[in-house]
Structure 1
Amino acid sequence: MKKMLCLTLALLTMMITASSVSANSLGKNGLLLKLNDAYLIYSKGEMPYVDANYRTLIPLRVISDAINGRITWDQKTKVVQIEAENFKLSAALNEKGATINNKKINSDTSMINKNGTVLVPAKWIAEGLGVSLIWDANSKVLSMDGEQFFQKGPLERMNNEEHKVTSFDPQIVPIEIGYGANEGEEQLKISFKNISKNTYTNREIQDHLLVYISPDSFIEEGINGITNSDRSGIRLIDKLEPNKTYSYFLPVGRLDQKQLQVDTPQYVFIRYFKYQ
């Protein structure tokens, strides 16, 4: 009986460990961050998560690049600062509270360094930028919309879509990212759900995938104004019906190995939009 109990505990430990590894790579993630309808589906290091105080923490580097900000680090004081146009945030690691736009705020959580990734409370970013945080409990999506996102800097290519109906959110949500064999090679496999009440055809919905590796190195797939390439398998799905889940492939290779570019990707965004 004792041996059986030890074996059961060992198996549970292995399952928890495997689950943690999956969540930090490209497996299912319990929470999605959406900026101007673009979903963060991969982050080198840590993905967004909810801490013990039920506060959502998001990777600081992702936010900094999305608003064309600059991050500085003071090794002596352990203070991290991010500064962009009309936005400034300063906080010491693991200390509650921050200074946002030169105003000190109290908080029950803190900026942290988790496994080499600096994460910041999403609420601080929203307050500093003057935007709302929207939480969808059903799809587990945390959204922020603001004119500061993707306008300048490393991620302005997220605005490359051609013929996009900007006033319409199709409510297509990625739910799992992984790999699968397709056309004789390993490709990125994306599963998504149509959470809207609309039925779409493959002529109406497009995706735009942006893999950010460095300021000079990107991988893009989908309809955009620069490359105008579209190898996305979403085109092969004839009809997207409400409340149904679908899967398709994107031939961008493995995102966690050095196969396509000079270095491992920093993060990946995908946007689904109605194509006019």
Structure 2
Amino acid sequence: MSCPTPRRGAEDQARSVVVIPTYNERENIDAILNRVLAVTDSDILVVDDSSPDGTASLVAGRPERGRRVHLVVRAEKTGLGAAYREGFAWVLDHGYGRIVQMDADLSHPPERVPALLAALDDHDVAVGSRYVAGGGVRNWALGRRLISWAGNQYVRLVLGLPVRDATAGFKAFRAEALASIGALGSHSNGYCFQIENTWQAVRHGLSVVEVPITFTDRTRGESKMSGSIVLEAVLRVLRWRVDELTHRPTGAERVAA
């Protein structure tokens, strides 16, 4: 799927939206929506993968539905990347100029959404970073910290990325940046989708800034992380680098073509 660069006036450039993918987040959804609505004027788009626990029904019953809270229900669960691609397509089609992506489990602090959006005044992409001064993690066991650190080191080393939190999932983009990196045409899912967009932003010469955040492990609901998601990231990162070194078209370059 190609992603033509949108043409937007000043009013559209100022419009912002927070995209939140969900699957069985009934225990968290009201809290995340309340906190985002309280700290920003941004709209919210929830992209639900037909959660059997009724997450979409809770969103549909919100008093802000249709005004500041919007809902897309997908037919089935096909991965985080697929959910974000559908959400990004929706917000670009509706003329938003600034897009934030974040998890529904409250691991990403909603209070930092304004800081990410403000960073887009001078940059194309803002990354909510755990690994810059002022950033950090909370409620993580030592083993989880080591896995996250090692994963980031692997990605940065293999792809040569200057971004310290290359695996971050809390980001903000100018609409033109999403178009430039071919986000709607990527094929990654899960953890790997986060990496791909950061990598493509750097490779396309976009201005990427890291904004410190404190990541807090979820306290309610179940994590969607799995061994297959991690394996996808490891293998795709290696393949991307091999493609670069052998001058094969990368995913975004194939999309552009």
TM class by smaller structure = 0.3 to 0.5
Q: Please, what TM-score do these two structures have when normalized by structure 1? A: 0.31
Which structure has the bigger radius of gyration? 1
Q: Please, what TM-score do these two structures have when normalized by structure 2? A: 0.33
- Indicate the structure with greater helix content: 2
- Indicate the structure with greater strand content: 1
Higher-RCO chain (CA-CA 8 Å, sequence separation at least 6): 2
